[in-house]
C-alpha cells in the first residue's frame, strides 16, 4: 500500500485547481526584475568608482551611470503593461499598504530616480557647462537647467561636486539595494508558493542583479568601443570581470543552496518543487540555467582568473561570459516567476504557460520594451558623452 502523501503519488492525477490554470504573472513580470537588476549592477560599477575610488573603473564609470539611468527610466513600462487597471496606478502612491512589499514601488522608484538623476547631473556638470556655451535655443535652456544656471567650475565648486556625488552614491547604494531587493521580497514573502517563499530570495535577486548589470556594462563597453573603433582599456575590463566573478559565485551559490535545501529538508510541498524542476522546468533550469549558462561562465571565469591571457583573448572571453550571464539571469528570472506559477496550489499538478507573440505581455512587447532603454541610452549619449577620454578635463 503506497504512502498517501509520498510526493510522486500526489502528482499522479496532475490536478490543477480551476483558478490555477491561468498564469497571471507573465513576461512583463519577468522583465521588471531584469530591468531593475540591470540598473543595480550598472550602479554598482559607478559606485565602485565614485564612492570607493576604484581607479581602474574610470573608463566605464560615467557610461554605467547613463546605462543605469536609461534602464531606470523604463522600469515602470513593464509594470504598467501588466496591471489590469493601469489607469489606477497612482493608487500605489496614494494609499500604499505598509504590509505589502509591492506597495514600496512608487516611493522607492521615485527616490532612486531622483538620486540617480542628480548623480548624473553632478557628474556631467562640467560637460553641460561647456555644452551650454556652445549651444543655443532649447538645448541651451536644458543645459542651464541641468547646471543650475551656474558656470562655476572652480576647484571649490568641483570639490563640492565630488563630495555631493559621494554622498548621493552613499545614499544611492542602499536605495538601489532596496529597489531590487524589495522585488526579491515580493516573491520571498509569498508563503503560498513553495519555490518563492524563502528568506534567500531577496539575496539571490540582488546578487544576480549585480551579475546582470556588470555583464551588461562589460558587453556594452566592448561592443560600443569596437564599433566606434576606439581602444578598450584592459585593466578596466579586468576589474569588472573580477567583480563579476565575485558576485556570480555568490549568486550561483545561493541559487544552488536554495535548491539543495529544498531537496534535503523535504518539507511539506517539496515534491512540488522537485516535480517542477525535474518536470516542466527540467530543460530550462538544469540544462539552460545551470549547465550552459552557469557552468560555462564558471569555467571561463576560472580560466580568466588563473591563466595569463593576451588582452585580445581576455576581451573576447569577457564579452562571451557577459553575454552568457545576461542570458543566465533572464532565464533565472523566468524560472522563478513563470516556473513558480506552474505549480498548482492543489499540490497535485502543474499548469502550462504559452507565451503569446502579440499580446499586451507578449514576446513582441518584451522585445520592444527591452529596446526602448537602448534608444534612450543612444539619445542620452548625444547629450552626455559616454567616455571620459572624449573629454580633456577630469570627470
DSSP 143-179: HHHHTTT----SHHHHHHHHHHHHHHHHHHHHHHHHH
* Interface with another protein: number of residues (CB under 8 A): 62
Site string for another protein, 324-353 (x = CB under 8 A): -----------------x--xxxxx-----
What is the closest distance, in whole angstroms, from the C-beta atom of residue 166 to another protein in the complex? 15
DSSP secondary structure, 33-100, as one string: HHHHHHHHHHHHHHHHHHTT--GGGHHHHHHHHHHHHHHHHTTHHHHHHH-SSGGGTTHHHHS--TT-
125, containing H or E segment: helix 125-134
Counting every residue written for the chain, the total comes to 395
Helices (H) and strands (E) in the chain, counts: 15, 0
Contact between 360 and another protein by CB under 8 A: the answer reads no
Is 136 among the residues that bind another protein (CB under 8 A)? no
* Among the listed residues 52, 53, 55, 86, the single contact to another protein using CB under 8 A: 86
Compute CA 14 distance to the chain's CA centroid, rounded to the nearest angstrom: 35
- Binding to another protein in span 161-220, by CB under 8 A: 164, 186, 189-193
Which one among 7, 51, 56, 102 touches another protein, defined by CB under 8 A? Answer: 102
Residue among 148 and 378 whose Cβ is closer to another protein = 148
Judged by CB, which is closer to another protein: 192, or 367? Answer: 192
Among residues 89, 117, 135, 261, which is the contact residue for another protein, using CB under 8 A?
89
- Considering only 47-55, 85-93, 166-174, 203-211, which stretch makes contact with another protein by CB under 8 A? 85-93
Residues 6+ apart with CB under 8 A from 39: 68, 71, 72, 75, 112, 116, 176, 179, 180, 213
Among 53, 149, 356, 389, binds another protein (CB under 8 A): 149
Identify residues 251-310 at the interface with another protein (CB under 8 A). Answer: 268
Q: Give yes or no for residue 1 binding another protein (CB under 8 A).
A: yes
Q: Yes or no: say if 82 and 28 are a contact pair by the CB < 8 Å rule.
A: yes
Q: Which of 51, 54, 83, 249 binds another protein (CB under 8 A)?
A: 83
Helix (H, G, I), strand (E, B) or coil at 278: helix
Stretch that binds another protein, among 33-41, 96-104, 238-246, 372-380 (CB under 8 A): 96-104
Exactly one of 52, 53, 88, 159 binds another protein (CB under 8 A); that residue is 88
CB-wise, 196 or 247, nearer to another protein? 196
Least distance in Å: CB of 113 to another protein?
12
What are the CA-CA distances from residue 311 to residues 10, 220, 234, 237, 315 (Å)?
55, 17, 7, 10, 6
Among 51, 54, 76, 114, binds another protein (CB under 8 A): 114
Is 12 a binder of another protein (CB under 8 A)? yes
Residue 85 CB, shortest distance to another protein, in Å, is: 5
Distance (Å, whole) CA 347 – CA 271: 8
Q: How far is CA 255 from the centre of its chain?
A: 16
Rounded distance between C-alpha atoms, residue 104 and residue 9, angstroms: 41
What's the min distance (Å) between Cβ of 65 and another protein? 19
Nearer to another protein, 157 or 259 (CB): 157
Residues whose CB is less than 8 angstroms from the CB of residue 157 and which lie 6 or more positions away in sequence, other chains included: none
Check residue 148 for interaction with another protein (CB under 8 A): yes
Question: What track of x and - describes contact with another protein for positions 21 through 60 (by CB under 8 A)?
Answer: xx-xx-----------------------------------
Question: Nearest CA to 335 among 286, 371, 294, 272?
Answer: 286
The set of cell numbers assigned to 188 is: 520571498
Please give the torsion angle defined by the CA atoms of residues 130, 135, 137 and 143, in that order, rounded to the nearest 10 degrees: -20
Q: Give the shortest CB-22-to-another protein separation in angstroms.
A: 8
What is the grid cell recorded at 368? 520592444
| 4 contributes a contact to another protein by CB under 8 A | yes
Contacts to another protein by CB under 8 A: 1-2, 4-5, 9-10, 12-13, 15, 17-22, 24-25, 82-86, 88-103, 105, 114, 148-150, 152, 154, 156-157, 160, 164, 186, 189-193, 268, 341, 344-348
Amino acid at each position: 500500500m503506497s504512502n498517501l502523501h509520498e510526493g510522486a503519488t500526489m502528482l499522479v492525477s496532475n490536478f490543477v485547481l480551476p483558478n490555477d490554470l491561468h498564469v497571471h504573472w507573465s513576461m512583463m513580470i519577468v522583465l521588471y526584475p531584469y530591468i531593475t537588476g540591470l540598473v543595480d549592477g550598472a550602479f554598482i560599477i559607478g559606485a565602485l568608482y565614485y564612492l570607493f575610488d576604484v581607479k581602474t573603473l574610470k573608463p566605464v564609470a560615467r557610461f554605467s551611470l547613463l546605462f543605469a539611468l536609461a534602464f531606470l527610466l523604463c522600469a515602470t513600462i513593464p509594470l504598467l503593461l501588466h496591471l489590469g487597471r493601469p489607469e489606477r496606478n497612482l493608487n500605489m502612491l496614494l494609499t500604499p499598504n505598509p504590509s505589502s512589499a509591492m506597495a514600496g514601488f512608487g516611493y522607492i522608484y521615485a527616490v532612486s530616480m531622483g538620486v540617480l538623476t542628480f548623480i548624473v547631473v553632478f557628474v556631467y556638470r562640467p560637460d553641460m557647462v561647456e555644452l551650454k556655451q556652445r549651444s543655443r535655443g532649447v538645448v541651451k535652456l536644458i543645459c542651464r537647467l541641468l547646471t543650475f544656471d551656474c558656470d562655476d567650475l572652480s576647484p571649490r565648486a568641483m570639490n563640492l561636486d565630488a563630495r555631493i556625488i559621494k554622498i548621493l552614491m552613499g545614499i544611492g547604494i542602499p536605495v538601489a539595494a532596496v529597489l531590487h531587493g524589495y522585488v526579491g521580497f515580493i516573491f520571498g514573502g509569498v508563503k503560498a508558493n513553495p519555490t518563492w517563499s524563502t528568506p534567500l530570495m531577496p539575496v539571490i535577486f540582488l546578487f544576480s542583479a549585480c551579475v546582470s548589470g556588470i555583464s551588461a556594462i562589460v558587453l556594452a563597453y566592448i561592443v560600443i568601443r569596437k564599433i566606434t573603433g576606439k581602444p578598450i582599456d584592459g585593466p578596466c575590463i579586468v576589474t569588472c570581470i573580477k567583480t563579476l566573478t565575485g558576485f556570480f559565485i555568490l549568486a550561483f551559490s545561493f541559487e544552488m543552496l536554495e535548491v539543495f535545501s529544498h531537496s534535503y529538508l523535504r518539507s511539506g510541498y517539496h515534491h512540488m518543487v522537485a516535480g517542477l524542476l525535474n518536470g516542466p522546468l527540467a530543460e530550462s533550469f538544469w540544462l539552460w540555467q545551470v549547465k550552459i549558462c552557469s557552468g560555462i561562465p564558471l569555467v571561463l571565469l576560472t580560466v580568466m582568473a588563473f591563466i595569463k591571457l593576451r588582452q585580445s583573448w581576455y576581451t573576447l572571453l569577457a564579452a562571451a561570459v557577459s553575454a552568457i550571464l545576461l542570458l543566465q539571469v533572464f532565464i533565472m528570472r523566468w524560472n522563478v516567476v513563470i516556473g513558480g506559477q506552474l505549480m498548482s496550489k492543489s499540490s497535485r499538478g502543474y499548469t502550462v504557460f504559452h507565451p503569446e507573440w502579440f499580446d499586451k505581455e507578449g514576446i513582441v512587447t518584451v522585445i520592444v520594451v527591452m529596446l526602448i532603454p537602448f534608444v534612450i541610452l543612444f539619445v542620452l549619449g548625444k547629450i552626455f558623452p559616454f567616455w571620459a577620454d572624449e573629454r580633456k578635463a577630469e570627470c
